[in-house]
Chains A and B, each alone.
Chain A
Amino acid sequence: MSPVNCQLQACTRRHFLHNTGTGIGSIALSSLLGHSANRTAAASEHSLQPHFTPRTKNIIYLHMAGSPPQHELFDYKPKLVEHHLQPCPQSLLENQRFAFIKGHPNLLGTPYQFSPQGQSGTLVSELLPHFGKMIDKVAVIKSMHTDQFNHAPAQLLLYTGSPRFGHASMGAWATYGLGSENQNLPGFVVLTSGGTDPSGGKSLWGSGFLPSVHQGVQCRTEGAPILYANNPKGMNRATRRRSLDALRDLNERQFKQFGDPETESRIEQYELAYRMQIAVPEVMDIRQEPQHIHELYNADPQSSSFANNCLLARRLVEQGVRFVQLFDWGWDIHGTAKSNDIVHHLPEKCKQVDQPIAALIKDLDQRGLLDETLIVWSGEFGRTSMNEERNGSKFLGRDHHPHCFSMWMAGGGIKGGISYGETDELGFFITENQIEVHDLQATILHLLGFDPFRFQYSFQGLNHRLIGPEGNATIQHGLIA
C-alpha cells in the first residue's frame, strides 16, 4: 500500500509504535487470537514504505524560537556596517509592512566580526567559535524566504506547512511515514529550553489530521520525563507488575468472551507502558554519559539546558527515535531592552548554543550517526537590516523580516562545506537561490525517502501534504550530497 492511501480505519487502530505485535502481551495472546481482522489491520498499518531509498533515518531539528538575526551570525553585510545608523533607503521601505518599526528607520551594521572557517572558507560570526570549526560538515543557507512575519503563524508554516492551525507537524509526518525504530520509545520527541514554549504552542508538534499517536511527546527534563509515567507514591515496581498481571488476566477473560481485537491491543499498550517506564527515564538520564561527553557538550545533569537537550537528542536518535525537535526560547532580538538586544543578550544566547551544537555534530559524526541523521537549525523568519528603535529604545535590535533569513543543515544526505543562496548588499532581499518554506519541507521529506508531492493524507475531502496544496515546491538538489 502506498503512503497516500492509508485509510482511517487502519489508522484508528494504529499503534503507538512501529513494531508492536512483538510485545509480551501479544505473544501470550497470539494463540487466542487466531486469524482475526486485527492481524490484517496490524499488517497494513505498518506497511507504509518510503518511495525511494532514504538519505537520512532520523532528524534533529534545532529551533531558535523568536528568530535569530542572520546579519549577526551568517549573512555578513559590510555595506550595513559602513552605513551603520544611517537612514534606510526609501526604496526599500515602499510597500513594506513591519511588526514594530514606525517611521523611517536607520540601517544597523553588525558589531561582530566574521572570518572564513574550515576548508570551505564559509564566513561565520565570531559569536559562534565552536560551530565555525564544524563548518565543513554544514550547508549554510542564506536565502530562506517565508511569507509570515508574526511568530506563531511563521512557526506553524515552518512545521505544518500552513500558517493556520489544524495541520500535521513535520515530525508527525515523519513518524506517520516511517514509524519508530524503537518499540519502547515514542517516535517523535520534543524538548524545550529557555523556560518558555514557542509561540505556536503544541500545534508545532501536533498530529493535526493525522491520528494522534503521531503527535510529538514532550519529554521533560525535570520530574517524570513523560507525564504520568511514574507510579503513584507508595506503589513500587513489584506492586505495579502484580497489578498489571491482574489487569491482564481480567482483560484476557474479557477478550475471550467478547473477542474484540481492541481489547488485545489495550493489553499490549499496558505492557508497553510498563516497559517505557524503564526505557524512557533511562534514555533521558544523561548522568550515564562519561565526563568527557559532558564537557564536550557543556552539559550539566543538575539543571536543564539547551546543552543537555543536545546531548539528549543524540541519545534519543541513537536509540532509534525518528524525530527529535528542540525549541530554545529567547531569540527575539528586538532591542527594546538590554535583555533582548544585540550587544548584551545575543552573545549570551549564542554562548548557550554554540558549543553544544558543535558537540552534537562532532559526537554524531564520531559515532557514525551523522550520515543517517539530518540536523536542521533555524528560526521561523529573518530580522530586518534596520535598527528597530521601538519607542526610541537605545538598545540595538532588529524587527521581524520575512524576505530573507539564514539557516543551516548538516548530516543525513546534506552536502557539507557549502554556502547556498545570496542576499543583496543590505541583506534585505534574496538575489540568488531563493528557498521557500515549502521547498525546505520538500527537501527534508525527500531526504527521508518520500516524494513530497505524493506523500499525502486524505482528510476532510482534501489530500493534505506537508508542502501545501499548491504543489509548487521544489526539492533543493543543490543542497544534497
Chain B
Amino acid sequence: MTPFLSHPFSTFRHLRPLLLTGLFYITIASFAFAGIEAADNIPDPPVDYLKEVRPILARHCLSCHGADAAKRKAKLRLDGPDPMAVSIKRSTPVIVPGNPESSGLYQRVTSEKDSQRMPPPDTENNPLQAEEILVLKNWIQQGAPYAAHWSFTMLTRPKLPSTKKNSWPINPIDHFVLARLEQNGLTPSASADSYTLIRRVSLDLRGLPPSPEEVATFINDTASGSYSRMVDRFLADPAFGERWAGMWLDLARYADSSGYGSDPLRTIWAFRDWVIDAFNQNLSFDQFTVQQLAGDLLENPSTPQMVATAFHRNTMTNTEGGTDDEEFRIAAVKDRVDTTLQVWMGLTMGCAKCHDHKYDPISQKEYYQFFAFFNQTADADHSDERPLLKLAEETVLEKDRLIEEQLTKLREQLKEAAEEDQEALKKQIEQAEKTKPDIPTVPIMKELPSDQLRSTTILVRGSFMDKGAEVTTDVPQAFHPLAPDTPSNRLGIGQWLMDPANPLTARVTANRFWAQLFGSGIVETEEDFGTQGELPSHPQLLDWIASELIESKWNIKSLLRLIVTSATYRQTSRLSSDLLTVDPRNRLFTRGPRFRLKAEMVRDQALALSGLLSRKMHGPSVFPPQPPGLWRAAFNGDRTWHTSQGPDRYRRGLYTFWRRTVPYPSMATFDAPSREICNIRRIRTNTPLQAFVTLNDPVYVEAAQALARRIVRNGGETPEQRAHFALQLCLTRPPEAKQIKILIELYESEKAFYETDPDAAQQMATNPLGPLPTGMKKEELASWTVVSNVLLNLDEILTKR
C-alpha cells in the first residue's frame, strides 16, 4: 500500500499517471473489507483509510486543515496523501508511519493539555471519541496507508468475482451481489412469484400497475423468455417516457412558475415533453446530456435540440419590484453550475461560491472558472423570460411574422397619426392582434454574440457586487482536463462530462437508475459522490454497471433491462426477523426491493385502478382538483386554479401544474419537492398527512367511487365475486379467503348503514364523481366506495413490493 508520506503532495490530476502504472491498486483492494464486519475476531484488523480514517479527519480536522486555503490553520493540510506542515515543531513530523507516539497528529489529538489538544475545545468541532483516536493510532501503526477518494479514480471494468452458488446468477450483476452475500455467509432470497414480478416491473418501468389483460398475457405465456418479453413490452410503452421524465424533472427543477415572491406562471411544458420523448426514443444519455446543456451550440440545431436547452432555463426569475436583475441573473448562473455538477458528477459545489471547498478539491477560483462557461447566455432575469422559442409549424410562424410586421407598422403610424385618424388605427391594431396565432413558447439558452461577451470574475463571498480577480473558463484541476479542441463553451462542458475519462458521470448515472428501482443507490448519497458522501456498498458492482453503460453507448433502456432482468431484482421482498437483523436496510440485497411508491405513482395508480386515468400525453400542464384558496402568492400573483374538466382532470401526475411556492398539496405530502432548486433524491416519509390524502382528498374519493362502479359493473353478481374481483384487480394476484371475508363484512355493515341514510349514500356514491349510472343502487355503490377507499389505502397498494 502507498504509505501516507511516501510521495510528495500531489493534486489528483498528478495522480492519474500513477494510477495507470498500477501503483494505485489500493483503492480497489481496500473495498474488499467494506460492509458487514467479519464474524471472526482478528486482532487489530486492517484500518481502511476511506471508510474509517478519512471520515474522522473530515469530521474533526478538515474544516481548518483541509482544501480551503483561506481557513487553513498552521499551514497544515490533512486531506491529501502527504500532510504539509511547517509550524508544528520541526522535530515532530505529522505522521511517522508505524509509530503513532512519534507522530504529531497522534500526539496532538491525545494531548492532556487544553492548549495543545486538537481539535481545540472552543471550536465548532466535536472532540474526538476514544474509539476514533484508536482508529488513528492503528492506522498510523499499520503504516498510515492513503487512498485517493474512490469516485475520483478512473473507472475500469472489474472482472466478475467467483461465487459458489453458480446456479443463481442470471446476469453479471448477480455475480457481484452473490459474492458479497457469500462473503457474509448469506444466501439470496427466492424469486418472487409472477404476479408480484409483473406489478413490480410495470410500476418500475412505466409508473403504472399492470392491467388485468397484461397480467393474463404474462401468466399465460409459459414459453421460455416470457419475463424478458414482459419487460420489453413495458419498455416500449409510451408510459415509460412519462415515468422516467418524472425522475428527471426533479433534477431539472422543472416547474410551471418562475419562483420567488409573486411566483408568476411560466410556459415551459415543451421541455417536459422533450424529456418524455427523449426517454421513449431511448436517446443515448450522452446526446441527452449534450442537447440539454448546449443544444443551441450544435451545428444547425433542430427545434427539439433547442427545446432541450430549456433544462437550464428552469432556474428562477425574480420579478419582485425593486430587484436588481444582475443579482438574480448571477443567482441563476450559479444554480446552473451547481445543478450541472450535481446531476452529472454528484458533486456539491455550492460552498465554493464563497470560499474554497473544505472537503472536496474545488477552489473558489475553480468554481468561477467553471461558472464562466455558463456566463455567456442572453437570458438575464427578464420578467418576460426572453429569449423564447416559438413552437409551431413553419406556415404558422410565417403568418405570425407577417402580422407582427403589420402591427409594428400600424403602431408607428399611430404615433404620428392625426387625432381624427387614431381611432381607426387603434381598431386596426386590435383586429390584427386578434388574428395573431396563439403560439406556445419555451424559454431557451442562447449564447451572446461574440462582441457582447461578459467577463467573469471571482465574486468575493459570493456577492455579485464584490468582484475579485478576472478568470477564464476551465475545469477543476482535480479532474481530467478538457480534451484537445474542445470548445470553450457549454458544448465543451457537455463533452467533458461525457468523456469516458470522466470518473463520475457514468457512476453517478448508473447509481441513479439503480436507486430508482431499489429504493436507494449503491452509493446511498446519490447527491454526493464527494469525500463527504457515503461509500458504495458494492463498489465493483457499481463500476461494472457504469462501464457497461459507457460500452452500450449510454443506452438507458438496456441499462434498465439489465437491472430488472437480474436475479437480484427478481427476489421476493419478504422479510424475516433474521434478514432484519443481518441486513435491516437491504444494503446487501438479500431480498427484492420494497418501498412506498413515489407521489406521482400513488396518484396514477389510484386513477388507473379506478379506470379514470387518461393516457393523453404532452401539452400544457393541467389542473386536477385542489382545495380552493391555496394560491395566495404575494404581490398580486395569479390566484386562480382553473380546475380542469374532462379527461384533463385525470391525467398522470407528471402533467399536474407545478407552482413552486404552492406545490400541488397531495404531491407535496408524499415528499415531492417544490423544485425551486435541483432535487437529487426524495427522502421518503410515512405520516398521517399522507393518510388524509389517500383517505379524503376528493381526487382519491372520486377514484374510489369510480372503482366501486367498476366493481359493480364488471365484478360479477354476489358480494363474494365482487370482493374477489376488486382484490384481484388492485393487488394483481389471486386474493385470500380471509381478505375477501374482511371486505364483505365491511360491505355488509356499510350497506346496512346507508340503507338507513339515503342522503349520505347519495353523497358517498356520487360526490364528486357525478350522477349514478342507470341501474345501480346508491346504497350499494356507497358501500363499495367505502370498500374501494380501503383498497386504495392498503399498504400492499401503496408499496412497491
Chain A residues close to B by CB (< 8 Å): 2, 4, 8-9, 11-16, 34-37, 41, 65, 97-100, 149-152, 164-166, 192, 195-203, 206, 211-213, 217, 220, 222-223, 226-236, 238-240, 242-243, 246-247, 249-251, 253-255, 257-263, 265-267, 269-270, 272-273, 276, 329, 399-400, 453-454, 458-462, 469-471
Let me know if A12 and B683 touch, CB within 8 A. Answer: yes
Q: How far is the CA of A451 from the CA of B473 in the complex (A)?
A: 41
- In the bound complex, residues from chain B placing their C-beta under 8 Å from that of A8 are 524, 683
**B761 nearest CB across to chain A (Å):** 7
- In the bound complex, residues from chain A placing their C-beta under 8 Å from that of B716 are none
- In the bound complex, residues from chain B placing their C-beta under 8 Å from that of A269 are 686-688, 690-691
Let me know if B581 and A37 touch, CB within 8 A. Answer: yes
- In the bound complex, residues from chain A placing their C-beta under 8 Å from that of B635 are 199
Let me know if B684 and A12 touch, CB within 8 A. Answer: yes
Q: How far is the CA of A236 from the CA of B695 in the complex (A)?
A: 13
State which of B527, B689, B698, B743 has its C-beta within 8 Å of the C-beta of A226. B689
Q: How far is the CA of A63 from the CA of B533 in the complex (A)?
A: 37
Q: Which of A8, A100, A151 counts the most chain B CB atoms within 10 A?
A: A151
Q: How far is the CA of A202 from the CA of B667 in the complex (A)?
A: 14
Q: How far is the CA of A454 from the CA of B122 in the complex (A)?
A: 11
Q: How far is the CA of A148 from the CA of B577 in the complex (A)?
A: 54
State which of A195, A197, A227 has its C-beta within 8 Å of the C-beta of B627. A227
Given contact pairs A150-B261, A222-B629, A460-B527, a sample of 6 additional A-B residue pairs in the complex whose CB atoms are under 8 Å apart: A16-B686, A98-B322, A199-B261, A258-B594, A259-B580, A461-B359
**B200 nearest CB across to chain A (Å):** 13
Let me know if B124 and A165 touch, CB within 8 A. Answer: no
- In the bound complex, residues from chain A placing their C-beta under 8 Å from that of B763 are 232-234
Let me know if A150 and B692 touch, CB within 8 A. Answer: no
Let me know if A165 and B575 touch, CB within 8 A. Answer: no
**B586 nearest CB across to chain A (Å):** 11
- In the bound complex, residues from chain A placing their C-beta under 8 Å from that of B28 are none
Let me know if B323 and A197 touch, CB within 8 A. Answer: no
Q: List 8 A-B contacts (CB under 8 A).
A: A166-B676, A199-B260, A223-B627, A232-B701, A235-B760, A235-B764, A262-B799, A461-B528
Q: How far is the CA of A461 from the CA of B530 in the complex (A)?
A: 7
- In the bound complex, residues from chain B placing their C-beta under 8 Å from that of A9 are 585
Q: How far is the CA of A365 from the CA of B36 in the complex (A)?
A: 55
Let me know if B320 and A234 touch, CB within 8 A. Answer: no
- In the bound complex, residues from chain A placing their C-beta under 8 Å from that of B765 are 234
Let me know if B674 and A199 touch, CB within 8 A. Answer: no
**CB-nearest residue of chain A relative to B741?**
A249
- In the bound complex, residues from chain A placing their C-beta under 8 Å from that of B701 are 232
**A311 nearest CB across to chain B (Å):** 21
State which of A16, A199, A270 has its C-beta within 8 Å of the C-beta of B320. A199
State which of A251, A253, A257, A261 has its C-beta within 8 Å of the C-beta of B574. A257
Which residues of B (437-469) have their CB < 8 Å from a CB of A?
Answer: none
Let me know if B634 and A454 touch, CB within 8 A. Answer: no
**CB-nearest residue of chain A relative to B687?**
A16
State which of A166, A240, A250 has its C-beta within 8 Å of the C-beta of B677. A166
Q: How far is the CA of A213 from the CA of B688 in the complex (A)?
A: 10
Let me know if B360 and A266 touch, CB within 8 A. Answer: no
Q: How far is the CA of A227 from the CA of B689 in the complex (A)?
A: 8
State which of A65, A211, A232 has its C-beta within 8 Å of the C-beta of B696. A232
Binds A, one of B88-96, B177-185, B787-795: B787-795
Let me know if B324 and A97 touch, CB within 8 A. Answer: yes
- In the bound complex, residues from chain A placing their C-beta under 8 Å from that of B692 are 226-229, 273
Let me know if B786 and A235 touch, CB within 8 A. Answer: yes
State which of A212, A249, A255, A458 has its C-beta within 8 Å of the C-beta of B671. A212
Q: Would you call B801 an interface residue if the criterion is a C-beta within 8 Å of the partner chain's C-beta atoms?
A: yes
Q: How far is the CA of A460 from the CA of B351 in the complex (A)?
A: 11
Let me know if B321 and A197 touch, CB within 8 A. Answer: no
- In the bound complex, residues from chain B placing their C-beta under 8 Å from that of A249 are 742
Chain B interface, number of residues (Cβ within 8 angstroms): 108
**B739 nearest CB across to chain A (Å):** 6
- In the bound complex, residues from chain B placing their C-beta under 8 Å from that of A198 are 634
Q: How far is the CA of A192 from the CA of B767 in the complex (A)?
A: 30
- In the bound complex, residues from chain B placing their C-beta under 8 Å from that of A458 are 532
Q: Would you call B21 an interface residue if the criterion is a C-beta within 8 Å of the partner chain's C-beta atoms?
A: no
Q: How far is the CA of A399 from the CA of B322 in the complex (A)?
A: 10
- In the bound complex, residues from chain A placing their C-beta under 8 Å from that of B786 are 235, 239, 243
**B247 nearest CB across to chain A (Å):** 18
Q: How far is the CA of A65 from the CA of B632 in the complex (A)?
A: 13
Let me know if A202 and B661 touch, CB within 8 A. Answer: yes
1/0 per residue, CB under 8 A from A, across B671-709: the answer is 100101100100111111111110111100100000000
Q: Would you call B84 an interface residue if the criterion is a C-beta within 8 Å of the partner chain's C-beta atoms?
A: no
Chain B residues close to A by CB (< 8 Å): 124, 126, 259-263, 316, 318, 320-324, 331, 342, 347-348, 350-351, 354, 359-360, 524-525, 527-528, 530-533, 573-577, 580-581, 584-585, 594-596, 627, 629, 632-635, 660-663, 665-666, 668-669, 671, 674, 676-677, 680, 683-693, 695-698, 701, 736, 738-739, 742-743, 745-746, 749-750, 753, 759-765, 767, 782, 786-787, 789-790, 793-796, 798-799, 801
State which of A34, A165, A246 has its C-beta within 8 Å of the C-beta of B743. A246
- In the bound complex, residues from chain B placing their C-beta under 8 Å from that of A34 are 577
- In the bound complex, residues from chain A placing their C-beta under 8 Å from that of B525 are 460-461
**CB-nearest residue of chain A relative to B320?**
A150
Let me know if A461 and B795 touch, CB within 8 A. Answer: no
**A235 nearest CB across to chain B (Å):** 6
- In the bound complex, residues from chain B placing their C-beta under 8 Å from that of A469 are 351, 354
**A396 nearest CB across to chain B (Å):** 18
Let me know if A217 and B580 touch, CB within 8 A. Answer: no
State which of B261, B348, B580 has its C-beta within 8 Å of the C-beta of A37. B580
**A422 nearest CB across to chain B (Å):** 27
**B763 nearest CB across to chain A (Å):** 3
Q: How far is the CA of A257 from the CA of B794 in the complex (A)?
A: 14
- In the bound complex, residues from chain A placing their C-beta under 8 Å from that of B354 are 469-470
- In the bound complex, residues from chain A placing their C-beta under 8 Å from that of B320 are 150-152, 199
**B24 nearest CB across to chain A (Å):** 23
Q: How far is the CA of A99 from the CA of B261 in the complex (A)?
A: 14
- In the bound complex, residues from chain A placing their C-beta under 8 Å from that of B690 are 269
Let me know if B739 and A253 touch, CB within 8 A. Answer: yes
- In the bound complex, residues from chain A placing their C-beta under 8 Å from that of B746 are 242-243, 246
Let me know if A453 and B124 touch, CB within 8 A. Answer: yes
State which of A166, A197, A262, A270 has its C-beta within 8 Å of the C-beta of B632. A197
Q: How far is the CA of A213 from the CA of B689 in the complex (A)?
A: 9
- In the bound complex, residues from chain A placing their C-beta under 8 Å from that of B580 are 36-37, 259, 261
**B316 nearest CB across to chain A (Å):** 8
3 closest A-B pairs by CB: A99-B322, A234-B763, A201-B661
- In the bound complex, residues from chain A placing their C-beta under 8 Å from that of B738 are 253
**CB-nearest residue of chain B relative to A66?**
B634
Q: How far is the CA of A227 from the CA of B629 in the complex (A)?
A: 11
- In the bound complex, residues from chain B placing their C-beta under 8 Å from that of A212 are 668, 671, 683, 685, 687
- In the bound complex, residues from chain A placing their C-beta under 8 Å from that of B528 are 460-461
Let me know if A260 and B581 touch, CB within 8 A. Answer: no
Let me know if B634 and A247 touch, CB within 8 A. Answer: no
Let me know if B696 and A196 touch, CB within 8 A. Answer: no
Let me know if A164 and B331 touch, CB within 8 A. Answer: yes
State which of B674, B696, B697 has its C-beta within 8 Å of the C-beta of A202. B674
Known: A203-B674, A234-B782. A13 touches B574 (CB 8 A): no
Q: How far is the CA of A197 from the CA of B260 in the complex (A)?
A: 12
Let me know if A213 and B661 touch, CB within 8 A. Answer: no
- In the bound complex, residues from chain B placing their C-beta under 8 Å from that of A97 are 324
Known: A152-B260, A228-B696, A239-B753. A461 touches B676 (CB 8 A): no
- In the bound complex, residues from chain B placing their C-beta under 8 Å from that of A220 are 629
- In the bound complex, residues from chain B placing their C-beta under 8 Å from that of A98 are 322
Q: How far is the CA of A412 from the CA of B262 in the complex (A)?
A: 35
Known: A232-B696, A460-B527, A460-B528. A197 touches B634 (CB 8 A): yes
Known: A150-B323, A239-B750. A258 touches B685 (CB 8 A): no
Let me know if A247 and B790 touch, CB within 8 A. Answer: yes
**CB-nearest residue of chain B relative to A267?**
B795
Let me know if B798 and A266 touch, CB within 8 A. Answer: yes
State which of A150, A202, A272 has its C-beta within 8 Å of the C-beta of B662. A202
